[in-house]
């Protein structure tokens, strides 16, 4: 039996690892997106005293490795009484970490937002929330599309760090198969292929979003 046959027989383990990675990735980027948008809203500027701590938080997340945050949630939180299991501390750490990066990307684009639109909206009687949700947010998201795409790929790569805090995802599947059958090269080549396929798919989706955004006129601003 060649090595590839062994791997094909064990494809269930690869598939479950792949699904687990996709679950973690999907949940965490949805959470990160929500956190990023909320941080942008909180930074909108009416509450001056909130701006400084939030920016310190975002800068701290950008200066720390992701694994330290995952360690903090998984190994550190039990000391203060909150006991998360590995999967949820992984998803939570990914959501918070990449939420801060999303917020920084959004903030950079928000700084160059044309103030005329905001004044016109206020003149028309838009409330703060409606103005943020219907005017600012869609344009900021569509304009930062390439940077968001890059950040999503970084989030995908960060899911592999969770193997260090014992979450069973794709890299863990490759590791366990390679140690059971002593075929590390083939097992990891398959897994690298999986990661590459996911990232190519995401790039295609981002490009489609670009076509949607051009059709709806977001690129004319």
Partner 1 sequence: MNTSAWQMLLEGAWTTVWISAVSIAIGVVAGLVIALIRLARIPIVDQLLVLYISVARATPLVTLALFIFLSAPDLGLDLNRSVAGILALTLNTTAFNAEIWRSAFRNFSREQSEAAMATGMTPWITFRRIMLPQMVITSLPGLVNEMSFLIKGSPAIAVIGIVDLTRVTNRISAVTYEPLPPILVAGALYMAIIGCLVWLQRLAERRANRLAM
Where along the sequence are the contacts to partner 1 (CB under 8 A)? Answer: 60, 63-68, 71-72, 75-76, 78-80, 153, 156-161, 163-164, 170-171, 174-175, 178, 184-185, 188-189, 191-192, 195-196, 198-200
CB of 79 to partner 1, least distance (A): 4
Distance CA 212, CA 202 (A): 15
**Minimum distance from residue 163 beta carbon to partner 1 (Å):** 6
Q: Which residues contact 58 (CB under 8 A, 6 or more apart)?
A: 39, 100, 103, 104, 107
Looking at the Cβ atoms of 46 and 185, the one nearer to partner 1 is 185
Nearer CB in complex with partner 1: 51/178: 178
| Between 141 and 177, CB nearer to partner 1 | 177
Which is closer to partner 1, CB of 117 or CB of 199? Answer: 199
Which residue, 46 or 79, has its beta carbon nearer to partner 1? 79
| Strand, helix or coil for residue 112 | coil
Q: How far is CA 47 from CA 7, 44, 61, 123, in A?
A: 57, 8, 22, 21
Query: Smallest distance, Å, CB 34 to partner 1?
Result: 23
Least CB distance to partner 1 at residue 205 (A): 14
From the CB of 35, what's the least distance to partner 1, in Å?
19
> How distant, in Å, are the alpha carbons of 117, 148, 172 from that of 213?
19, 14, 38
Question: Could you identify the residue written with the tokens 């995401």?
Answer: 202
Six-digit token string for 151? 């950040």
Nearer to partner 1, 7 or 156 (CB): 156
**Alpha-carbon distance values, 89 to 121, 161, 199 (Å):** 41, 12, 24
State how far the Cα of 9 lies from the Cα of 194, in Å rounded to an integer: 17
CB of 143 to partner 1, least distance (A): 20
């Amino acid at each position: 039996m060649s090595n590839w046959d062994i791997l094909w027989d064990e494809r269930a383990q690869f598939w479950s690892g792949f699904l687990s990675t996709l679950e973690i990735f999907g949940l965490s980027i949805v959470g990160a997106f929500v956190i990023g948008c909320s941080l942008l809203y909180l930074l909108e500027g009416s509450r001056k005293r909130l701006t400084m701590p939030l920016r310190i938080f975002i800068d701290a997340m950008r200066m720390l490795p992701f694994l330290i945050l995952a360690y903090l949630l998984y190994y550190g939180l039990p000391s203060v009484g909150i006991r998360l299991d590995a999967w949820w501390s992984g998803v939570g750490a990914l959501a918070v970490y990449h939420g801060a990066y999303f917020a920084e990307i959004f903030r950079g684009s928000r700084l160059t937002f044309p103030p005329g639109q905001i004044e016109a909206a206020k003149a028309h009687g838009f409330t703060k929330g409606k103005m943020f949700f219907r005017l600012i947010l869609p344009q900021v998201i569509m304009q930062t599309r390439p940077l968001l795409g890059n950040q999503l790929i970084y989030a995908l790569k960060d899911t592999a760090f969770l193997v260090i805090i014992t979450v069973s995802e794709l890299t863990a599947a490759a590791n366990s198969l390679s140690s059971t059958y002593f075929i590390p090269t083939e097992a990891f080549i398959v897994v690298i292929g999986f990661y590459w396929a996911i990232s190519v798919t995401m790039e295609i989706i981002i490009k489609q979003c670009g076509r949607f955004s051009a059709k709806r006129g977001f690129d004319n601003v």
